[in-house]
Chain A
Protein backbone atom coordinates (compact mmCIF):
# COMPACT_ATOMS: atom_id res chain seq x y z
CA UNK A 1 0.00 0.00 0.00
CA UNK A 2 2.69 2.44 1.03
CA UNK A 3 4.84 1.50 -1.94
CA UNK A 4 1.87 2.10 -4.17
CA UNK A 5 1.29 5.50 -2.61
CA UNK A 6 4.91 6.56 -2.95
CA UNK A 7 5.02 5.39 -6.55
CA UNK A 8 1.69 6.57 -7.90
CA UNK A 9 0.27 8.94 -5.27
CA UNK A 10 2.06 11.92 -6.75
CA UNK A 11 0.83 11.13 -10.25
CA UNK A 12 -2.75 10.75 -9.02
CA UNK A 13 -2.64 14.07 -7.16
CA UNK A 14 -1.48 15.80 -10.35
CA UNK A 15 -3.46 13.97 -12.97
CA UNK A 16 -6.88 13.65 -11.36
CA UNK A 17 -7.64 17.41 -11.32
CA UNK A 18 -5.65 18.00 -14.48
CA UNK A 19 -7.70 15.41 -16.39
CA UNK A 20 -10.96 16.93 -15.08
CA UNK A 21 -9.94 20.46 -16.08
CA UNK A 22 -8.69 19.39 -19.49
CA UNK A 23 -11.94 17.53 -20.11
CA UNK A 24 -14.40 20.09 -18.75
CA UNK A 25 -12.57 23.36 -19.31
CA UNK A 26 -10.04 23.03 -22.13
CA UNK A 27 -12.02 20.71 -24.37
CA UNK A 28 -15.15 22.94 -24.23
CA UNK A 29 -13.06 25.91 -25.39
CA UNK A 30 -11.69 23.86 -28.28
CA UNK A 31 -15.21 22.74 -29.15
CA UNK A 32 -16.33 26.38 -29.05
CA UNK A 33 -13.62 27.31 -31.54
CA UNK A 34 -14.81 24.38 -33.66
CA UNK A 35 -18.42 25.62 -33.54
CA UNK A 36 -17.37 29.18 -34.36
CA UNK A 37 -16.01 27.84 -37.67
CA UNK A 38 -19.14 25.77 -38.31
CA UNK A 39 -22.04 26.41 -40.62
CA UNK A 40 -25.33 27.42 -38.97
CA UNK A 41 -28.36 25.35 -39.97
CA UNK A 42 -31.95 24.85 -38.89
CA UNK A 43 -31.68 21.56 -37.03
CA UNK A 44 -30.82 20.07 -33.66
CA UNK A 45 -28.10 21.04 -32.83
CA UNK A 46 -28.34 24.21 -34.96
CA UNK A 47 -24.94 23.90 -36.61
CA UNK A 48 -22.98 21.61 -38.87
CA UNK A 49 -19.69 20.92 -37.05
CA UNK A 50 -16.57 22.01 -38.89
CA UNK A 51 -14.64 19.08 -37.50
CA UNK A 52 -16.53 15.86 -37.09
CA UNK A 53 -15.74 12.22 -36.53
CA UNK A 54 -18.15 9.34 -36.38
CA UNK A 55 -19.28 6.25 -38.26
CA UNK A 56 -18.99 8.18 -41.54
CA UNK A 57 -15.30 8.88 -40.95
CA UNK A 58 -13.55 12.17 -40.23
CA UNK A 59 -14.59 15.35 -41.98
CA UNK A 60 -13.13 18.83 -41.67
CA UNK A 61 -14.86 21.69 -43.44
CA UNK A 62 -14.28 24.97 -41.61
CA UNK A 63 -16.19 28.07 -42.73
CA UNK A 64 -15.42 31.66 -41.78
CA UNK A 65 -19.04 32.80 -42.40
CA UNK A 66 -19.64 33.63 -38.75
CA UNK A 67 -16.64 35.93 -38.43
CA UNK A 68 -17.53 37.44 -41.80
CA UNK A 69 -21.08 38.07 -40.54
CA UNK A 70 -19.67 39.92 -37.52
CA UNK A 71 -17.43 41.89 -39.88
CA UNK A 72 -20.31 42.68 -42.21
CA UNK A 73 -22.70 43.79 -39.45
CA UNK A 74 -19.84 45.30 -37.49
CA UNK A 75 -21.99 48.10 -36.11
CA UNK A 76 -24.18 45.59 -34.27
CA UNK A 77 -21.19 43.92 -32.65
CA UNK A 78 -18.62 46.69 -32.43
CA UNK A 79 -20.76 48.96 -30.23
CA UNK A 80 -21.38 46.28 -27.62
CA UNK A 81 -17.64 45.57 -27.63
CA UNK A 82 -16.76 49.26 -27.24
CA UNK A 83 -19.50 49.61 -24.61
CA UNK A 84 -18.13 46.63 -22.67
CA UNK A 85 -14.67 48.19 -22.53
CA UNK A 86 -15.96 51.71 -21.80
CA UNK A 87 -18.40 50.68 -19.05
CA UNK A 88 -15.88 48.29 -17.49
CA UNK A 89 -13.16 50.96 -17.58
CA UNK A 90 -15.22 53.64 -15.85
CA UNK A 91 -16.66 51.11 -13.42
CA UNK A 92 -13.09 50.21 -12.43
CA UNK A 93 -12.35 53.90 -11.93
CA UNK A 94 -15.40 54.46 -9.72
CA UNK A 95 -14.60 51.32 -7.73
CA UNK A 96 -11.09 52.66 -7.16
CA UNK A 97 -12.49 56.03 -6.06
CA UNK A 98 -14.72 54.47 -3.40
CA UNK A 99 -12.40 51.60 -2.46
CA UNK A 100 -9.31 53.69 -1.76
CA UNK A 101 -10.58 55.56 1.30
CA UNK A 102 -12.20 52.36 2.59
CA UNK A 103 -8.99 50.32 2.22
CA UNK A 104 -6.95 53.15 3.74
CA UNK A 105 -9.20 53.43 6.76
CA UNK A 106 -9.25 49.66 7.31
CA UNK A 107 -5.47 49.37 6.95
CA UNK A 108 -4.82 52.13 9.50
CA UNK A 109 -7.41 51.22 12.13
CA UNK A 110 -6.71 49.12 15.23
CA UNK A 111 -6.89 45.33 15.13
CA UNK A 112 -10.40 44.79 16.49
CA UNK A 113 -12.02 47.45 14.27
CA UNK A 114 -10.01 46.05 11.35
CA UNK A 115 -11.54 42.58 11.84
CA UNK A 116 -15.07 43.98 11.90
CA UNK A 117 -14.53 46.20 8.85
CA UNK A 118 -12.94 43.37 6.86
CA UNK A 119 -15.89 41.10 7.59
CA UNK A 120 -18.21 43.97 6.53
CA UNK A 121 -16.31 44.21 3.22
CA UNK A 122 -16.32 40.46 2.62
CA UNK A 123 -19.95 39.79 3.52
CA UNK A 124 -21.53 41.35 0.38
CA UNK A 125 -18.94 39.54 -1.72
CA UNK A 126 -20.39 36.21 -0.57
CA UNK A 127 -24.01 37.09 -1.25
CA UNK A 128 -25.52 36.76 -4.67
CA UNK A 129 -24.86 39.59 -7.11
CA UNK A 130 -28.23 38.86 -8.75
CA UNK A 131 -30.06 39.61 -5.49
CA UNK A 132 -28.04 42.74 -4.80
CA UNK A 133 -28.82 43.99 -8.32
CA UNK A 134 -32.46 43.31 -7.61
CA UNK A 135 -32.21 45.38 -4.43
CA UNK A 136 -30.66 48.18 -6.48
CA UNK A 137 -33.56 48.12 -8.94
CA UNK A 138 -35.89 48.75 -5.99
CA UNK A 139 -33.91 51.91 -5.28
CA UNK A 140 -33.47 53.24 -8.82
CA UNK A 141 -36.86 52.46 -10.39
CA UNK A 142 -39.05 55.40 -11.50
CA UNK A 143 -41.36 54.48 -8.62
CA UNK A 144 -38.48 53.29 -6.46
CA UNK A 145 -37.13 54.44 -3.12
CA UNK A 146 -34.86 57.29 -4.29
CA UNK A 147 -37.47 58.87 -6.54
CA UNK A 148 -40.06 58.59 -3.77
CA UNK A 149 -37.83 60.54 -1.43
CA UNK A 150 -36.93 63.12 -4.08
CA UNK A 151 -40.59 63.72 -4.94
CA UNK A 152 -41.57 63.83 -1.26
CA UNK A 153 -38.81 66.36 -0.59
CA UNK A 154 -39.98 68.46 -3.51
CA UNK A 155 -36.69 68.20 -5.42
CA UNK A 156 -38.47 66.97 -8.51
CA UNK A 157 -42.05 66.55 -9.66
CA UNK A 158 -41.62 63.80 -12.23
CA UNK A 159 -39.44 60.77 -11.41
CA UNK A 160 -35.83 61.00 -12.58
CA UNK A 161 -34.83 58.33 -15.10
CA UNK A 162 -32.08 56.35 -13.40
CA UNK A 163 -32.66 52.81 -14.66
CA UNK A 164 -31.32 51.84 -18.10
CA UNK A 165 -28.65 54.55 -18.03
CA UNK A 166 -24.88 54.47 -17.66
CA UNK A 167 -25.46 55.56 -14.08
CA UNK A 168 -27.41 52.42 -13.21
CA UNK A 169 -24.67 50.24 -14.76
CA UNK A 170 -21.97 52.01 -12.75
CA UNK A 171 -24.02 51.72 -9.58
CA UNK A 172 -24.46 47.99 -10.19
CA UNK A 173 -20.79 47.44 -10.99
CA UNK A 174 -19.61 49.36 -7.91
CA UNK A 175 -22.03 47.44 -5.71
CA UNK A 176 -20.85 44.11 -7.17
CA UNK A 177 -17.10 44.61 -7.50
CA UNK A 178 -16.17 47.05 -4.72
CA UNK A 179 -14.90 44.25 -2.39
CA UNK A 180 -12.59 42.94 -5.15
CA UNK A 181 -10.96 46.38 -5.34
CA UNK A 182 -10.74 46.92 -1.58
CA UNK A 183 -8.92 43.67 -0.72
CA UNK A 184 -5.72 44.11 -2.80
CA UNK A 185 -5.61 47.83 -1.93
CA UNK A 186 -5.91 46.94 1.75
CA UNK A 187 -3.17 44.33 1.38
CA UNK A 188 -0.74 46.87 -0.07
CA UNK A 189 -1.70 49.67 2.37
CA UNK A 190 -1.46 47.48 5.47
CA UNK A 191 2.11 46.53 4.57
CA UNK A 192 3.05 50.19 4.33
CA UNK A 193 5.52 51.06 7.10
CA UNK A 194 3.85 53.58 9.42
CA UNK A 195 7.18 54.98 10.58
CA UNK A 196 7.88 56.44 7.12
CA UNK A 197 4.64 58.40 7.29
CA UNK A 198 5.37 59.53 10.84
CA UNK A 199 8.87 60.62 9.84
CA UNK A 200 7.42 62.68 6.99
CA UNK A 201 4.86 64.23 9.35
CA UNK A 202 7.63 65.04 11.88
CA UNK A 203 9.59 66.78 9.17
CA UNK A 204 6.58 68.98 8.48
CA UNK A 205 5.05 67.38 5.37
CA UNK A 206 1.40 68.31 4.81
CA UNK A 207 -1.24 65.58 4.70
CA UNK A 208 -1.79 65.95 0.98
CA UNK A 209 1.97 65.75 0.30
CA UNK A 210 2.25 62.62 2.42
CA UNK A 211 -0.51 61.03 0.39
CA UNK A 212 0.92 62.12 -2.95
CA UNK A 213 4.57 61.25 -2.33
CA UNK A 214 4.40 58.24 0.03
CA UNK A 215 1.04 56.50 0.30
CA UNK A 216 -0.08 56.66 -3.32
CA UNK A 217 3.20 55.50 -4.94
CA UNK A 218 3.58 52.63 -2.49
CA UNK A 219 0.03 51.40 -3.13
CA UNK A 220 0.39 51.20 -6.91
CA UNK A 221 0.76 47.37 -6.94
CA UNK A 222 -2.56 47.17 -5.07
CA UNK A 223 -4.19 49.61 -7.52
CA UNK A 224 -3.06 47.52 -10.49
CA UNK A 225 -4.14 44.21 -8.94
CA UNK A 226 -7.52 45.58 -7.87
CA UNK A 227 -8.16 47.20 -11.24
CA UNK A 228 -7.51 43.90 -13.01
CA UNK A 229 -9.75 42.01 -10.57
CA UNK A 230 -12.58 44.45 -11.32
CA UNK A 231 -12.03 45.14 -15.02
CA UNK A 232 -11.79 41.51 -16.16
CA UNK A 233 -15.13 40.24 -14.81
CA UNK A 234 -16.81 43.60 -15.54
CA UNK A 235 -16.03 43.33 -19.28
CA UNK A 236 -17.85 40.00 -19.57
CA UNK A 237 -20.68 40.90 -17.19
CA UNK A 238 -24.14 39.65 -18.12
CA UNK A 239 -26.47 40.18 -15.14
CA UNK A 240 -25.80 43.91 -14.73
CA UNK A 241 -26.46 45.02 -18.35
CA UNK A 242 -29.38 42.60 -18.55
CA UNK A 243 -31.16 43.90 -15.44
CA UNK A 244 -30.01 47.51 -15.12
CA UNK A 245 -29.01 48.54 -18.65
CA UNK A 246 -31.02 49.57 -21.67
CA UNK A 247 -30.24 49.24 -25.39
CA UNK A 248 -27.59 51.96 -25.02
CA UNK A 249 -25.69 49.84 -22.49
CA UNK A 250 -25.51 46.61 -24.49
CA UNK A 251 -22.43 44.56 -23.57
CA UNK A 252 -20.80 41.50 -25.14
CA UNK A 253 -21.90 39.12 -22.39
CA UNK A 254 -25.50 40.01 -23.13
CA UNK A 255 -24.95 39.77 -26.90
CA UNK A 256 -23.70 36.18 -26.49
CA UNK A 257 -26.81 35.42 -24.42
CA UNK A 258 -29.18 36.96 -27.00
CA UNK A 259 -27.51 35.29 -29.99
CA UNK A 260 -27.63 31.98 -28.18
CA UNK A 261 -31.05 31.93 -26.51
CA UNK A 262 -33.13 34.23 -28.71
CA UNK A 263 -31.61 34.02 -32.21
CA UNK A 264 -30.40 30.43 -31.69
CA UNK A 265 -27.32 31.26 -33.74
CA UNK A 266 -24.79 29.19 -31.83
CA UNK A 267 -21.85 29.60 -34.25
CA UNK A 268 -22.07 33.41 -34.10
CA UNK A 269 -22.42 33.28 -30.30
CA UNK A 270 -19.22 31.19 -30.21
CA UNK A 271 -17.39 33.62 -32.49
CA UNK A 272 -18.37 36.55 -30.22
CA UNK A 273 -17.24 34.56 -27.17
CA UNK A 274 -13.82 34.15 -28.77
CA UNK A 275 -13.61 37.90 -29.42
CA UNK A 276 -14.53 38.50 -25.76
CA UNK A 277 -11.72 36.17 -24.63
CA UNK A 278 -9.30 38.18 -26.79
CA UNK A 279 -10.40 41.43 -25.07
CA UNK A 280 -9.79 39.87 -21.65
CA UNK A 281 -6.40 38.33 -22.48
CA UNK A 282 -4.88 41.72 -23.42
CA UNK A 283 -4.86 43.29 -19.91
CA UNK A 284 -3.65 40.00 -18.39
CA UNK A 285 -0.72 39.78 -20.78
CA UNK A 286 0.01 43.45 -20.06
CA UNK A 287 0.05 42.77 -16.31
CA UNK A 288 2.37 39.78 -16.76
CA UNK A 289 4.69 41.92 -18.84
CA UNK A 290 4.67 44.65 -16.17
CA UNK A 291 5.49 42.02 -13.54
CA UNK A 292 8.51 40.80 -15.44
CA UNK A 293 9.70 44.37 -15.98
CA UNK A 294 9.37 45.04 -12.26
CA UNK A 295 11.52 42.05 -11.32
CA UNK A 296 14.36 42.76 -13.74
Chain B
Protein backbone atom coordinates (compact mmCIF):
# COMPACT_ATOMS: atom_id res chain seq x y z
CA UNK B 1 0.00 0.00 0.00
CA UNK B 2 1.30 3.43 -0.91
CA UNK B 3 1.63 5.91 1.88
CA UNK B 4 0.88 9.41 0.60
CA UNK B 5 1.79 12.59 2.37
CA UNK B 6 -1.31 13.51 4.46
CA UNK B 7 -3.32 16.37 3.01
CA UNK B 8 -2.94 18.46 6.17
CA UNK B 9 0.86 18.32 5.75
CA UNK B 10 0.59 19.64 2.19
CA UNK B 11 -1.74 22.45 3.28
CA UNK B 12 0.60 23.48 6.11
CA UNK B 13 3.57 23.33 3.74
CA UNK B 14 1.84 25.64 1.29
CA UNK B 15 1.12 28.04 4.17
CA UNK B 16 4.85 27.89 4.97
CA UNK B 17 5.80 28.80 1.39
CA UNK B 18 3.25 31.61 1.61
CA UNK B 19 5.03 33.01 4.67
CA UNK B 20 8.32 32.99 2.77
CA UNK B 21 7.03 34.72 -0.34
CA UNK B 22 3.94 36.86 0.36
CA UNK B 23 5.64 39.77 2.21
CA UNK B 24 8.22 40.26 -0.54
CA UNK B 25 5.63 39.95 -3.32
CA UNK B 26 3.36 42.57 -1.76
CA UNK B 27 6.35 44.87 -1.39
CA UNK B 28 7.23 44.37 -5.06
CA UNK B 29 3.67 45.22 -6.12
CA UNK B 30 3.68 48.38 -4.02
CA UNK B 31 6.98 49.50 -5.55
CA UNK B 32 4.91 50.31 -8.66
CA UNK B 33 2.50 52.47 -6.67
CA UNK B 34 2.43 56.03 -7.98
CA UNK B 35 1.29 57.60 -4.69
CA UNK B 36 3.63 58.81 -1.97
CA UNK B 37 1.48 57.11 0.68
CA UNK B 38 2.64 53.54 0.98
CA UNK B 39 -0.59 51.82 1.92
CA UNK B 40 -2.91 53.53 -0.55
CA UNK B 41 -2.84 52.27 -4.13
CA UNK B 42 -2.92 55.32 -6.42
CA UNK B 43 -2.20 53.73 -9.77
CA UNK B 44 0.64 52.04 -11.62
CA UNK B 45 3.87 53.96 -12.12
CA UNK B 46 7.58 53.33 -12.53
CA UNK B 47 8.58 56.77 -11.29
CA UNK B 48 10.26 55.47 -8.12
CA UNK B 49 12.57 53.35 -10.24
CA UNK B 50 13.43 56.33 -12.40
CA UNK B 51 14.15 58.43 -9.32
CA UNK B 52 16.65 55.86 -8.03
CA UNK B 53 19.06 56.70 -10.85
CA UNK B 54 19.27 60.30 -9.69
CA UNK B 55 20.09 59.42 -6.07
CA UNK B 56 23.87 59.91 -5.89
CA UNK B 57 24.26 58.58 -2.34
CA UNK B 58 22.51 55.38 -3.35
CA UNK B 59 24.51 54.92 -6.54
CA UNK B 60 27.86 55.44 -4.82
CA UNK B 61 26.83 53.00 -2.08
CA UNK B 62 25.85 50.48 -4.76
CA UNK B 63 29.25 50.89 -6.44
CA UNK B 64 31.06 50.33 -3.11
CA UNK B 65 28.93 47.29 -2.28
CA UNK B 66 29.63 45.73 -5.68
CA UNK B 67 33.36 46.44 -5.38
CA UNK B 68 33.55 45.00 -1.86
CA UNK B 69 31.33 42.04 -2.75
CA UNK B 70 33.31 40.99 -5.81
CA UNK B 71 36.76 41.40 -4.33
CA UNK B 72 35.94 39.80 -0.99
CA UNK B 73 34.13 36.92 -2.73
CA UNK B 74 37.21 36.28 -4.86
CA UNK B 75 39.51 36.21 -1.82
CA UNK B 76 36.97 34.07 0.07
CA UNK B 77 36.69 31.51 -2.72
CA UNK B 78 40.46 31.16 -3.13
CA UNK B 79 41.12 30.75 0.59
CA UNK B 80 38.02 28.58 1.00
CA UNK B 81 39.38 26.27 -1.70
CA UNK B 82 42.70 26.01 0.16
CA UNK B 83 40.89 25.19 3.43
CA UNK B 84 38.74 22.57 1.69
CA UNK B 85 41.81 20.91 0.12
CA UNK B 86 43.60 20.86 3.46
CA UNK B 87 40.64 19.20 5.18
CA UNK B 88 39.64 16.68 2.54
CA UNK B 89 42.94 15.74 0.92
CA UNK B 90 45.62 16.04 3.57
CA UNK B 91 46.03 13.29 6.10
CA UNK B 92 46.50 14.30 9.71
CA UNK B 93 48.54 17.46 10.06
CA UNK B 94 49.53 19.28 13.19
CA UNK B 95 47.50 22.45 12.73
CA UNK B 96 44.32 20.58 11.74
CA UNK B 97 42.44 21.14 14.98
CA UNK B 98 43.34 24.84 15.06
CA UNK B 99 42.34 25.28 11.43
CA UNK B 100 39.01 23.50 11.90
CA UNK B 101 38.32 25.66 14.96
CA UNK B 102 39.09 29.02 13.33
CA UNK B 103 37.38 28.01 10.07
CA UNK B 104 34.11 27.00 11.73
CA UNK B 105 33.81 29.46 14.63
CA UNK B 106 33.03 32.44 12.30
CA UNK B 107 30.00 30.48 11.03
CA UNK B 108 28.31 30.64 14.43
CA UNK B 109 29.67 33.96 15.72
CA UNK B 110 26.99 36.67 16.02
CA UNK B 111 27.61 39.41 13.46
CA UNK B 112 27.69 42.11 16.13
CA UNK B 113 30.50 40.27 17.93
CA UNK B 114 32.53 39.68 14.75
CA UNK B 115 32.10 43.30 13.69
CA UNK B 116 32.99 44.74 17.08
CA UNK B 117 36.06 42.54 17.56
CA UNK B 118 37.39 43.29 14.07
CA UNK B 119 36.97 47.00 14.55
CA UNK B 120 38.86 46.80 17.85
CA UNK B 121 41.70 44.96 16.12
CA UNK B 122 41.86 47.49 13.28
CA UNK B 123 42.06 50.31 15.81
CA UNK B 124 44.75 48.53 17.87
CA UNK B 125 46.73 47.91 14.67
CA UNK B 126 46.36 51.51 13.62
CA UNK B 127 47.68 52.84 16.93
CA UNK B 128 50.55 50.33 16.90
CA UNK B 129 51.69 50.16 13.25
CA UNK B 130 49.77 52.99 11.58
CA UNK B 131 47.87 50.54 9.34
CA UNK B 132 45.02 50.58 8.36
CA UNK B 133 44.83 54.36 8.52
CA UNK B 134 41.16 54.95 9.14
CA UNK B 135 38.45 52.57 8.06
CA UNK B 136 36.82 52.24 4.69
CA UNK B 137 36.35 49.96 1.73
CA UNK B 138 39.53 47.96 2.50
CA UNK B 139 38.61 47.12 6.10
CA UNK B 140 35.08 46.04 5.08
CA UNK B 141 36.64 43.90 2.35
CA UNK B 142 38.96 42.16 4.83
CA UNK B 143 36.10 41.56 7.28
CA UNK B 144 33.82 40.12 4.60
CA UNK B 145 36.56 37.94 3.13
CA UNK B 146 37.23 36.52 6.60
CA UNK B 147 33.76 35.13 7.26
CA UNK B 148 33.08 34.48 3.57
CA UNK B 149 35.99 32.03 3.28
CA UNK B 150 34.52 29.84 6.03
CA UNK B 151 31.22 29.51 4.12
CA UNK B 152 33.09 28.98 0.85
CA UNK B 153 35.18 26.24 2.48
CA UNK B 154 32.02 24.36 3.56
CA UNK B 155 30.52 24.50 0.06
CA UNK B 156 33.71 23.35 -1.72
CA UNK B 157 34.53 20.73 0.92
CA UNK B 158 31.21 18.90 0.35
CA UNK B 159 31.87 18.63 -3.36
CA UNK B 160 35.53 17.66 -2.97
CA UNK B 161 34.57 14.88 -0.57
CA UNK B 162 31.89 13.44 -2.89
CA UNK B 163 34.16 13.63 -5.93
CA UNK B 164 35.26 10.53 -7.75
CA UNK B 165 39.00 10.17 -7.18
CA UNK B 166 39.73 7.53 -9.82
CA UNK B 167 40.32 10.12 -12.53
CA UNK B 168 42.97 11.83 -10.44
CA UNK B 169 44.60 8.55 -9.59
CA UNK B 170 44.58 7.48 -13.23
CA UNK B 171 46.27 10.71 -14.30
CA UNK B 172 48.90 10.30 -11.60
CA UNK B 173 49.51 6.69 -12.60
CA UNK B 174 50.05 7.87 -16.17
CA UNK B 175 52.85 10.08 -14.83
CA UNK B 176 51.18 13.49 -14.68
CA UNK B 177 52.56 15.84 -12.08
CA UNK B 178 50.50 16.97 -9.09
CA UNK B 179 49.95 20.61 -10.12
CA UNK B 180 48.81 19.50 -13.57
CA UNK B 181 46.46 16.88 -12.14
CA UNK B 182 44.93 19.51 -9.92
CA UNK B 183 44.55 22.16 -12.61
CA UNK B 184 43.24 19.92 -15.40
CA UNK B 185 41.23 17.29 -13.54
CA UNK B 186 40.31 18.25 -9.98
CA UNK B 187 39.50 21.90 -10.64
CA UNK B 188 37.08 21.32 -13.56
CA UNK B 189 35.31 18.61 -11.56
CA UNK B 190 34.69 20.82 -8.54
CA UNK B 191 34.03 23.94 -10.64
CA UNK B 192 30.26 24.11 -9.90
CA UNK B 193 31.00 24.26 -6.19
CA UNK B 194 33.51 27.05 -6.82
CA UNK B 195 30.82 29.08 -8.59
CA UNK B 196 28.40 28.36 -5.76
CA UNK B 197 31.00 29.37 -3.15
CA UNK B 198 31.74 32.62 -4.98
CA UNK B 199 28.04 33.45 -5.29
CA UNK B 200 27.42 32.66 -1.63
CA UNK B 201 30.31 34.81 -0.38
CA UNK B 202 29.27 37.60 -2.75
CA UNK B 203 25.67 37.67 -1.49
CA UNK B 204 26.81 37.40 2.15
CA UNK B 205 28.99 40.44 1.60
CA UNK B 206 26.42 42.31 -0.50
CA UNK B 207 23.68 41.81 2.13
CA UNK B 208 25.77 42.40 5.24
CA UNK B 209 24.69 45.32 7.41
CA UNK B 210 26.05 44.66 10.90
CA UNK B 211 29.72 43.86 10.30
CA UNK B 212 30.01 46.58 7.65
CA UNK B 213 28.51 49.14 10.06
CA UNK B 214 31.23 48.41 12.60
CA UNK B 215 34.25 48.38 10.29
CA UNK B 216 33.20 51.14 7.88
CA UNK B 217 34.43 54.68 8.23
CA UNK B 218 32.87 57.99 7.32
CA UNK B 219 32.11 58.09 3.59
CA UNK B 220 32.32 54.34 3.08
CA UNK B 221 28.67 53.46 3.60
CA UNK B 222 27.65 50.34 1.71
CA UNK B 223 24.19 49.81 0.22
CA UNK B 224 22.72 47.96 3.27
CA UNK B 225 23.96 50.76 5.57
CA UNK B 226 22.25 53.41 3.42
CA UNK B 227 19.07 51.34 3.17
CA UNK B 228 19.03 50.70 6.92
CA UNK B 229 19.22 54.41 7.69
CA UNK B 230 16.41 55.05 5.18
CA UNK B 231 14.24 52.28 6.69
CA UNK B 232 14.59 53.85 10.14
CA UNK B 233 12.85 56.93 8.73
CA UNK B 234 9.90 54.78 7.70
CA UNK B 235 8.47 52.79 4.83
CA UNK B 236 8.74 54.58 1.49
CA UNK B 237 8.02 53.66 -2.14
CA UNK B 238 11.64 54.47 -2.98
CA UNK B 239 12.95 51.71 -0.68
CA UNK B 240 10.32 49.37 -2.15
CA UNK B 241 11.89 49.99 -5.54
CA UNK B 242 15.52 49.45 -4.39
CA UNK B 243 14.56 46.32 -2.48
CA UNK B 244 12.68 44.93 -5.47
CA UNK B 245 15.66 45.50 -7.76
CA UNK B 246 18.13 43.96 -5.30
CA UNK B 247 15.99 40.89 -4.62
CA UNK B 248 15.30 40.31 -8.33
CA UNK B 249 19.00 40.66 -9.20
CA UNK B 250 20.19 38.24 -6.52
CA UNK B 251 17.38 35.76 -7.27
CA UNK B 252 18.23 35.93 -10.96
CA UNK B 253 21.89 35.24 -10.24
CA UNK B 254 21.03 32.31 -7.97
CA UNK B 255 18.61 30.84 -10.52
CA UNK B 256 21.15 31.17 -13.32
CA UNK B 257 23.84 29.65 -11.10
CA UNK B 258 21.71 26.66 -10.07
CA UNK B 259 20.64 26.08 -13.70
CA UNK B 260 24.29 26.06 -14.72
CA UNK B 261 25.21 23.62 -11.96
CA UNK B 262 22.25 21.33 -12.72
CA UNK B 263 23.13 21.33 -16.42
CA UNK B 264 26.79 20.53 -15.75
CA UNK B 265 25.82 17.78 -13.34
CA UNK B 266 23.40 16.10 -15.72
CA UNK B 267 25.96 16.32 -18.56
CA UNK B 268 28.58 14.80 -16.25
CA UNK B 269 26.26 11.89 -15.48
CA UNK B 270 25.56 11.17 -19.16
CA UNK B 271 29.25 10.88 -20.06
Contact = CB atoms under 8 A, between A and B. Distances in A.
Interface of A: 2, 5-6, 9-10, 13-18, 20-22, 24-29, 31-32, 35, 45, 49, 53-54, 98-99, 101-102, 104-106, 108-109, 115, 119-124, 126-132, 134-139, 141, 143-145, 148, 174-175, 178-179, 194, 197-198, 200-202, 207, 210, 232-233, 235-239, 243, 252-253, 256-257, 260-261, 266, 269-270, 273, 276-277, 280, 284
A17 to B, nearest CB: 4
18 contacts: A9-B178, A17-B86, A24-B143, A28-B114, A32-B113, A101-B10, A102-B12, A102-B17, A132-B24, A134-B227, A135-B23, A135-B24, A175-B23, A194-B3, A198-B1, A253-B210, A257-B112, A269-B116
What 5 pairs across the A-B complex have the smallest Cβ distances?
A236-B110, A28-B117, A128-B207, A101-B12, A135-B27
A119 B146 contact: no
Interface in B103-128: 103, 105-106, 108-114, 116-118, 120-121, 123-124, 127-128
Nearest to B224: A130
Given A17-B82, A243-B231, A124 B117 contact: no
Nearest to A208: B6
A277 B111 CA distance: 11
Interface string B200-244: 100100110110011000000000100110010001000110010
A31 B117 CA distance: 7
B23 A270 contact: no
Chain B facing A: main interface SS? helix
A210 B207 contact: no
Interface stretch (B43-51, B56-64, B164-172, B248-256): B248-256
B252 to A, nearest CB: 10
Contacts of B38: 138, 143
B113 A273 contact: yes
B39 to A, nearest CB: 5
Contacts of B224: 128, 130
B21 interface: yes
A225 to B, nearest CB: 13
Nearest to B147: A25
A105 B3 contact: no
Given A13-B85, A20-B79, A276-B113, A6 B121 contact: no
A16 B83 CA distance: 9
Given A102-B13, A126-B203, A18 B250 contact: no
Contact of B118 (A28, A104, A126, A210): A28
Looking at B23, B26, B128, the one whose CB has the most chain A CB atoms below 10 A away is: B23
A144 B82 contact: no
A16 B247 contact: no
